[in-house]
Structure 1
Amino acid sequence: MAVVERQQWDVVVVGAGGAGLRAAIEARRAGARTAVICKSLFGKAHTVMAEGGIAASMANANEHDDWKTHFRDTMRGGKFLNQWRMAELHAQEAPDRVWELETWGALFDRTPDGRISQRNFGGHEYPRLAHVGDRTGLELIRTLQQRIVGLQQEDHRETGDHEARLKVLQEFTVTRILKGADGQVAGVFCYERESGRFLVLEAPSVVLATGGIGKSFKVTSNSWEYTGDGHALALLAGAPLVNMEFVQFHPTGMVWPPSVKGILVTESVRGDGGVLRNSEGRRFMFDYVPDVFKEKYAQTEEEGDRWYEDPDNNRRPPELLPRDEVARAINSEVKEGRGSPHGGVFLDVSTRMPAEVIRRRLPSMYHQFKELADVDITAEAMEVGPTCHYVMGGVAVDSETAATVGVPGLFAAGEVAGGMHGSNRLGGNSLSDLLVFGRRAGLYAAQYAMSGAGSTVVADDVEAAAAEALAPFGGPSGGAPENPYTLHQELQQTMNDLVGIIRREGEMAEALERIAALRERARRIAVEGHRQFNPGWHLALDLRNMLLVGECVARAALERTESRGGHTREDHPAMVREWRPVNLLCHAEGEGIGLERVRTEPIRADLLALFEQEELAKYLADAELEGELGR
C-alpha cells in the first residue's frame, strides 16, 4: 500500500475561494481546529475574477433599497425556482457581511459623502453592488486572506505555533470524502500536487467550497480549478445534486483573439452605461425585452439613457436585463447574421463615458483588452459573446445550516451549493452568497464537530482511494491507452455543442451517449512519468469529476421539458408553470446518474405578499400557492 500521512482536525474546508475562507474564519472563531485545502496557491482562487461587486441592500445609492426588494429581485431573476429561505437569509444578511469586510480592511470605493459606493447591475432594481473598481473579487480575497493570516498570528502568540488552530494546505487536491462505517463524515483523502504525496485529514466536519464546473465546457470564463470537484465529491459520498440543468452563460465574454475567448467582461461595463450593438450599429436589446419585464425596462434609447441620471424613474435600460435574457438575445443576433466579425456583438462604452472615467472605474477591463486584444476600450467597442460562467445547480443543502442532504458532517457553500439562485443568478449575488453561506457553513460545521459527532476512517477506504489515484500510472488492462488531454477536449466540445446555451432533445441524448463512451475510454487513461508535479496525472483524476458533472447537466436538461432561466430548450421554448415547483435531484447510481423529482417547499405567505398577484400567477403552479393567490 502507498504511504499515506495523517492529520487530525475538527473542520476541513475544501477550497480557498471566498466561501472557503469565510467558512474557515467562522469555524476557527467558533473554536474548531480548522484546515483549509487549496487546489492552487493561497490567494489565487477564482473568486478574484468576480469583478463587478457584492450585492447588498445597504441603501447607500438609493434610500428605497431594502432586503425585501433584494429578495424580490433574486426570486424574479431565478424565475421563482430559488430555495426561498436561502434567498431570504441572503438578502437579510448580505449588508452585515459587507460591513464586516470593511472592518477587516476592505477598501471599497466611496460615495462623495464617504459611504460605500454601490453600482447598477442587471436584474437589480436599485444600485446595489458594493465595489472596488472592477477588482472587487480580488479585494475580497485579499481581505479574507489577511484575516486568515491574522488568526494564525493570534495562534502563534498564544501557543507559539502558527498552525495550532488554522492551517492552509496549498496545492492539494481532494479525491475522496471518507466516511465511517456508520455513514458519517470521517475526513478527506488528498494528494499534494507538487510531490504527489498522499494525505488523509481526519475530521468530523467537511465543508465543500470548490466553486463551479466551467472547465467541462470549451468556452468558459472559469479558471483551471473549476473541474466540478466538490460536485463529484458530494455525489460519490452519497449527497444529491439539485437542478444541474441550470448553467449560466454570462452574456459578455471576450471573443477575440482565440487565445482569450471566454474571458469575462464584467457586467459593471453595462452597469456604468455600456450598451450592446449589432453589426448594423443598432442597440438590439430593445427587441428582446420579455413581456414579464415590460413594466420595468425602457422601450426607447432616450428612456433607457434617462435612467442612469434618474434611477427612480424605474425604467432600466434593457442591457441590464437578467443575464439569461441578455445571453439569449446576443445568441439570436449572431445566429441571424448580425454579429461582429469574430462571432459576437459589440459592447460600447467609449461613446458613453470619458476616457479618464473608464480608466478609473474599469481599470481591469481597460488593461485586459489593451494587453490581450490590442483594443483600447476608451476609443473603440469590445467584441463580446456568451461564455459558460456559473452553475446555479449544486449540492443540495439545508438553507439554515448549509448541511448537505443525507451525509452527516458534510456541508457546502458558494457556487458548489445549489438552490439559492434558482434557474438564473443575478450579477453580484455570488459574492454576497459566498459570504453569507460561507459564514453559516463554517459556523454549523464547527458546532457539529464540537458536539462530539463524527466517525472513524475505514482503512480499506483509504487504501481504495490511494489505488484509484494511482490507477492512471498502471496503464490499461486491455485496449489502446487513452490520453487525458484528448478526452478532456472531446468532453468540452460535446458539452459546448450539445448541452450549451440552446438545447435540443436529440442533441442532449447524443451528448449522454458520448459521455458514456468517454467514461469507458477513461478507464484506459495512461500517464507517463512520476507523481512529482505531473499535469497529465492531475487531469486524469479531474476527468472523473468532469464526466460525472457533465452527465448530471445533460440528464437533468433532457428531463426538464421547458425553458427557464439558464436552461433554454429550443424544442420547448416556453416556461411551463407546472415545472416551477419541481426540483431535479441527481444521485450517483452505480457508475451513472439517476434522477428524482422533488417538489419545492411552498413560499411563506408574508414573502408572497411582496409580489404583485398578476406576476405570481405567471410563475406559480403549486396548489397551496394558488390558494394564497385566491385570498
Structure 2
Amino acid sequence: MPPTPEADITRYRYDVVVIGAGGAGLRAAIAAREQGKRTAVISKSLFGKAHTVMAEGGAAAALGNTNADDTWHTHFRDTIRGGKFLNDPRMAELHAREAPDRILELEYWGALFDRTGDGRISQRNFGGHEYPRLAHVGDRTGLEMIRTLQQRVVALQQADAAELGDPDAMLQVFAETAVTELVTDDSGAIAGAFGYRRVDGGFVLFEAPSVVLATGGIGKAFSTTSNSWEYTGDGHALALRAGASLINMEFVQFHPTGMVWPPSVRGILVTESVRGDGGVLRNSEGERFMFGYVPDVFRAQYAETEAEADGWYEDPSNNRRPPELLPRDEVARAINTEVKEGRGSPHGGVFLDVSTRMPAEEIHKRLPSMHHQFKELADVDITAEPMEVGPTCHYVMGGVRVEAETGASDVPGLFAAGEVAGGMHGSNRLGGNSLSDLLVFGRRAGLGAAARADDHQGSGVSEERASASLARALAPLKQGQGVNPYTVHTELQETMNDLVGIVRKGPEMEEALERLARMRERTDMLSAPGDRVYNPGWHLALALPNMVLVSEAVTLAALERTESRGGHTRDDHPEMSPQWRKVNLAARHGDDGVSLTRQPLAGIPSELLALFDDDELAKYLTEEELS
C-alpha cells in the first residue's frame, strides 16, 4: 500500500551518508567532503551533543612530549596488552602509527590542548599506558574535539557558500534525525538509509552508494551505564539487519569508576584522569586494595608497595606504575570483588581520593568538570573528600567487522568507524584510545566511502522498499493496546545488568537468552499511540528492537566463549585460554534471530611480536604459535 499523504517521504541523494555526528562521524564526513563528495551527516541528537563530549581524560597518541622514549611501537604494545592479544593487529598498528598525526591535525584546526612548560601539547598518565600519552584539555577533551571538528565542518560549508552560493551544497548536517533502516538493492549492496525527524515525525530517505556508521555504543541496554540516551545500539542493529557481521560482542567494558550516589546519578562517568593524576582507590577499611589485584602478566610493570607507587609520580622512569593504573577490566573486577566481599563504601562502591596528592587549586585546574559534577550532583567537594565510585557499563569493544584500511564491512557500500566498529580494541579498550580511534578510523572510513562512491553511483531506492520501511516505522502508532515499550526496556536493562553483567555464569546467560527471546516476540507488538510529533514512546518503540537484538548478540557470544578475557569474565570459566585467543565470534542476523560462527584471528607480524618478551607471549600464545 502506498504511503498516505500525511506520511510522505522526503528524498535526498548524496554520494556519502554518515550516520552519527560524534568524533568518528564528523571526521569521516570531513574526509569524504575533502574528496569532493556530496556528504550528509545525520545526527540523532542536537548537533554538538554527541556522546564524544563525555570522553573527558584525553586522546592517546605517542607524541613523546612528556617522555621522549614513547613511540608508536610502545603504544601498539600497550594496546595489544590491554586487549589481551585479541585485537585486530593491523588496526592496532595503524592506530598507533597515525594517532600523532591526527592529534596534530586537530591542533592545526584549532584545538586548544593543555601545554607543557616549553609549549608542547601536554600528555597525562592513563591506565595501561606505559608512558604519559593522553593529549588533553583539562577533563573536557571530548568537548574540545567536537568543537574543533564542528568548526572544520563549518569552515568547509563557508567555503562552499563562497564558491557555490550554498553552504549545504556539498556537506549538510541533519540534526535530530534518527535512522531506522539501511536499505539495500537487489544485489545486497547499500542503496540508502531511511529514518525520521525526531522533532516532527517527518520521514526521510537518503539515497547513497556509501553509508558510514558512526553511531556509538549499546549502553542503554544496561541499567547502570555512563552512556546517554542516544546509545541504543542502532548502528550495530542496522548493520546486522543489512547483512553485516559483528565481532567481539561478548566484550563489554565496565568502566571502574562511575558515580554510585545519589541514585539519580548512578553510573555517570568519573574520568580515569582522576587516577591518572594521582587518585588512589581505598576500601571501607582504608586499605589501598589494588596492590592485591595485580595479575602475574602485569607484575613487572606495576608497583608492589605504596612507597614504590608514590615514588612513580615523582620519577615515572622507574616504570613501576601504581596499580590504580592497571587496564580498566582489571580495576573494575577488583572493585566488584571488594564490594561483594563486604569492604565496599556505604552506597555499594569504593572510595577514590585525589585530594591527598593534589592541592585544591590544581584540582580546579586539571579536573574542573569532576569538581563541578560531584559538588552539584552529590554535594561532595573532591578537593577535601573522597568520591564514591563503582563499575558502570561504558563501552562495547565489539562491533561491525571492518577492513582496517578502509572501514569497509561485509556489505558492499557499508562502512563503520568508532565504537560501532569491532576489532581495534580486542577484549578491552585502554582509556584514551577511543578518541584517537575516532580520528584515525573516522578518516579512513570517510576515504573508503568516498572511493566506493567514485565507482558506484547507486541504483536508488524503489517506492516499494521505501513504503515497506515507512510501514514498519508507523506500526507502533497503530498497535492500540499493545505492549508498553517502557516496560520492556526496564526488563531488558535489568536482565542485562543482572545476568550478563560484569561477572557472568553459563546458567544465568541461558536464562537471559530465554528472556530475550520472549522480549523479541513482544517487540513486534510495541504500542505508542498518538501523533508522530513529540512522542517519546514512539522513539523508544523504534529503538527498543535494536537493543534487544544487540543484547542477544552479546549474550550468545558471552555464553559461547568459555574463558575469561578482558571485559568478559566467566565465573564458571575463570582462566584465559590460548586457544580461544585465536578465535573471533562473528554474529549474523537471520530469520531465527542471531547466529554465531567462529572465525580465525589474524596473527601479529613477527617484527611486532618481537616487542614482547617470551614470558609474556607464553601467557597468551599456543605452543604452536610460540614455535
Q: Same fold per TM (> 0.5)?
A: yes
Q: 1:622: how far off? A: 7.8
Task: Tell me the distance in 1 between the aligned counterparts of 2:438 and 2:315.
Answer: 31
Instruction: Please say if residues 15 and 457 of structure 2, whose CA atoms lie closer than 8 Å, have aligned partners that are also in contact.
Output: no
Tell me if 1:530 matches 2:531: yes
Q: Which residue of 1 is the match for residue 440 of structure 2?
A: 436
Once the two structures are superposed, the pairs formed by residues 479-518 of structure 1 within 5 Å of their partners are 481-518=482-519
Larger deviation: 461-470 or 389-398? Answer: 461-470
Question: 2:491 is aligned with what amino acid?
Answer: E
Q: Which residue of 2 is the match for residue 340 of structure 1?
A: 345
Q: Which residue of 1 is the match for residue 565 of structure 2?
A: 564
Question: 1:611 is aligned with what amino acid?
Answer: F
Task: Tell me the distance in 2 between the aligned counterparts of 1:412 and 1:305.
Answer: 42
Task: Tell me the distance in 1 between the aligned counterparts of 2:97 and 2:602.
Answer: 20
Q: Which residue of 1 is the match for residue 49 of structure 2?
A: 44
Q: How many residues align?
A: 622
Q: Which residue of 2 is the match for residue 267 of structure 1?
A: 272
Task: Tell me the distance in 2 between the aligned counterparts of 1:186 and 1:522.
Answer: 26
Q: Over residues 551-572 of structure 1, what are the superposed CA-to-partner deviations in whole Å (9 max), with x where a residue is unaligned?
A: 0000000000000000000000
Task: Tell me the distance in 1 between the aligned counterparts of 2:461 and 2:261.
Answer: 50
Q: 1:473: how far off? A: 1.0
Task: Tell me the distance in 2 between the aligned counterparts of 1:454 and 1:370.
Answer: 53
User: Which of these residues, 454, 462, 467, is aligned with residue 458 of structure 1?
Assistant: 462
Instruction: Please say if residues 39 and 172 of structure 1, whose CA atoms lie closer than 8 Å, have aligned partners that are also in contact.
Output: yes
Task: Tell me the distance in 2 between the aligned counterparts of 1:31 and 1:366.
Answer: 44
Task: Tell me the distance in 1 between the aligned counterparts of 2:557 and 2:464.
Answer: 34
Tell me if 1:389 matches 2:394: yes
For residue 84 of structure 2, give the secondary structure of its aligned residue in structure 1: coil
Question: 1:409 is aligned with what amino acid?
Answer: G
Question: 1:483 is aligned with what amino acid?
Answer: N
Larger deviation: 135-144 or 589-598? Answer: 589-598
Tell me if 1:300 matches 2:305: yes
Instruction: Please say if residues 482 and 527 of structure 2, whose CA atoms lie closer than 8 Å, have aligned partners that are also in contact.
Output: yes
Task: Tell me the distance in 2 between the aligned counterparts of 1:453 and 1:605.
Answer: 41
Q: Which residue of 1 is the match for residue 602 of structure 2?
A: 601
User: Which of these residues, 253, 257, 262, is aligned with residue 252 of structure 1?
Assistant: 257
Task: Tell me the distance in 2 between the aligned counterparts of 1:411 and 1:452.
Answer: 14
User: Which of these residues, 158, 161, 167, is aligned with residue 156 of structure 1?
Assistant: 161
Instruction: Please say if residues 179 and 455 of structure 1, whose CA atoms lie closer than 8 Å, have aligned partners that are also in contact.
Output: no
Percent identity of the aligned residues? 72
Task: Tell me the distance in 1 between the aligned counterparts of 2:389 and 2:495.
Answer: 22
Q: Which residue of 2 is the match for residue 520 of structure 1?
A: 521
Q: Which residue of 1 is the match for residue 28 of structure 2?
A: 23
TM-score, reference length from structure 1:
0.98
User: Which of these residues, 189, 192, 200, is aligned with residue 195 of structure 1?
Assistant: 200
Tell me if 1:401 matches 2:406: yes
Question: 2:582 is aligned with what amino acid?
Answer: P
For residue 585 of structure 1, give the secondary structure of its aligned residue in structure 2: strand
Q: 1:290: how far off? A: 0.4
For residue 13 of structure 1, give the secondary structure of its aligned residue in structure 2: strand
User: Which of these residues, 472, 477, 482, is aligned with residue 473 of structure 1?
Assistant: 477
Tell me if 1:114 matches 2:115: no
User: Which of these residues, 401, 411, 418, is aligned with residue 414 of structure 1?
Assistant: 418
Task: Tell me the distance in 2 between the aligned counterparts of 1:393 and 1:410.
Answer: 17
Q: Which residue of 1 is the match for residue 553 of structure 2?
A: 552
Task: Tell me the distance in 1 between the aligned counterparts of 2:465 and 2:547.
Answer: 22
Q: Which residue of 1 is the match for residue 315 of structure 2?
A: 310
Tell me if 1:446 matches 2:450: yes
Q: Which residue of 2 is the match for residue 124 of structure 1?
A: 129
Larger deviation: 445-454 or 585-594? Answer: 445-454
For residue 580 of structure 1, give the secondary structure of its aligned residue in structure 2: helix
For residue 294 of structure 1, give the secondary structure of its aligned residue in structure 2: helix
Q: 1:455: how far off? A: 3.0
User: Which of these residues, 372, 375, 385, is aligned with residue 370 of structure 1?
Assistant: 375
Task: Tell me the distance in 1 between the aligned counterparts of 2:476 and 2:47.
Answer: 28
Task: Tell me the distance in 2 between the aligned counterparts of 1:125 and 1:15.
Answer: 32
Task: Tell me the distance in 1 between the aligned counterparts of 2:355 and 2:592.
Answer: 52
Q: Over residues 284-329 of structure 1, what are the superposed CA-to-partner deviations in whole Å (9 max), with x where a residue is unaligned?
A: 0000000001000000000001111111101000000000000000
Instruction: Please say if residues 78 and 421 of structure 1, whose CA atoms lie closer than 8 Å, have aligned partners that are also in contact.
Output: yes
Q: 1:417: how far off? A: 0.1
Q: Over aligned residues, Cα RMSD in angstroms?
A: 0.9
For residue 604 of structure 2, give the secondary structure of its aligned residue in structure 1: coil
Q: Which residue of 1 is the match for residue 579 of structure 2?
A: 578
Q: 1:392: how far off? A: 0.2
Task: Tell me the distance in 1 between the aligned counterparts of 2:73 and 2:102.
Answer: 17
For residue 71 of structure 1, give the secondary structure of its aligned residue in structure 2: helix
Q: 1:76: how far off? A: 0.3
Q: Which residue of 1 is the match for residue 621 of structure 2?
A: 620
Q: 1:531: how far off? A: 0.4
User: Which of these residues, 62, 80, 102, is aligned with residue 67 of structure 2?
Assistant: 62
Q: Which residue of 2 is the match for residue 350 of structure 1?
A: 355
Instruction: Please say if residues 66 and 123 of structure 2, whose CA atoms lie closer than 8 Å, have aligned partners that are also in contact.
Output: yes
Q: 1:452: how far off? A: 3.0
For residue 292 of structure 2, give the secondary structure of its aligned residue in structure 1: helix
Q: Which residue of 2 is the match for residue 174 of structure 1?
A: 179
Question: 1:275 is aligned with what amino acid?
Answer: V
Task: Tell me the distance in 2 between the aligned counterparts of 1:31 and 1:446.
Answer: 8
Instruction: Please say if residues 181 and 458 of structure 1, whose CA atoms lie closer than 8 Å, have aligned partners that are also in contact.
Output: no
Instruction: Please say if residues 208 and 457 of structure 2, whose CA atoms lie closer than 8 Å, have aligned partners that are also in contact.
Output: no
Task: Tell me the distance in 2 between the aligned counterparts of 1:455 and 1:507.
Answer: 47
For residue 251 of structure 1, give the secondary structure of its aligned residue in structure 2: strand
Larger deviation: 525-534 or 192-201? Answer: 525-534
Instruction: Please say if residues 226 and 393 of structure 2, whose CA atoms lie closer than 8 Å, have aligned partners that are also in contact.
Output: yes
For residue 397 of structure 1, give the secondary structure of its aligned residue in structure 2: coil
Instruction: Please say if residues 281 and 351 of structure 2, whose CA atoms lie closer than 8 Å, have aligned partners that are also in contact.
Output: yes
For residue 326 of structure 1, give the secondary structure of its aligned residue in structure 2: helix
Task: Tell me the distance in 2 between the aligned counterparts of 1:326 and 1:488.
Answer: 29
Instruction: Please say if residues 374 and 382 of structure 2, whose CA atoms lie closer than 8 Å, have aligned partners that are also in contact.
Output: yes
For residue 523 of structure 1, give the secondary structure of its aligned residue in structure 2: helix
Q: 1:460: how far off? A: 2.0
Task: Tell me the distance in 1 between the aligned counterparts of 2:35 and 2:295.
Answer: 47
Task: Tell me the distance in 2 between the aligned counterparts of 1:533 and 1:404.
Answer: 35
Q: Over residues 341-373 of structure 1, what are the superposed CA-to-partner deviations in whole Å (9 max), with x where a residue is unaligned?
A: 000000001111100001110000000000000
Instruction: Please say if residues 409 and 454 of structure 1, whose CA atoms lie closer than 8 Å, have aligned partners that are also in contact.
Output: no
Q: Over residues 9-41 of structure 1, what are the superposed CA-to-partner deviations in whole Å (9 max), with x where a residue is unaligned?
A: 000000000000000000000110000000000
For residue 544 of structure 2, give the secondary structure of its aligned residue in structure 1: helix
Task: Tell me the distance in 1 between the aligned counterparts of 2:341 and 2:268.
Answer: 24
Q: 1:93: how far off? A: 0.1
Task: Tell me the distance in 2 between the aligned counterparts of 1:365 and 1:84.
Answer: 35
Question: 1:128 is aligned with what amino acid?
Answer: R
Question: 1:470 is aligned with what amino acid?
Answer: L
Q: Which residue of 2 is the match for residue 329 of structure 1?
A: 334
Q: 1:453: how far off? A: 4.9
Task: Tell me the distance in 1 between the aligned counterparts of 2:456 and 2:486.
Answer: 44
Once the two structures are superposed, the pairs formed by residues 86-105 of structure 1 within 5 Å of their partners are 86-105=91-110
Structure 1 unmatched ranges of 5 or more: none
Instruction: Please say if residues 581 and 622 of structure 1, whose CA atoms lie closer than 8 Å, have aligned partners that are also in contact.
Output: no
Q: 1:61: how far off? A: 0.4
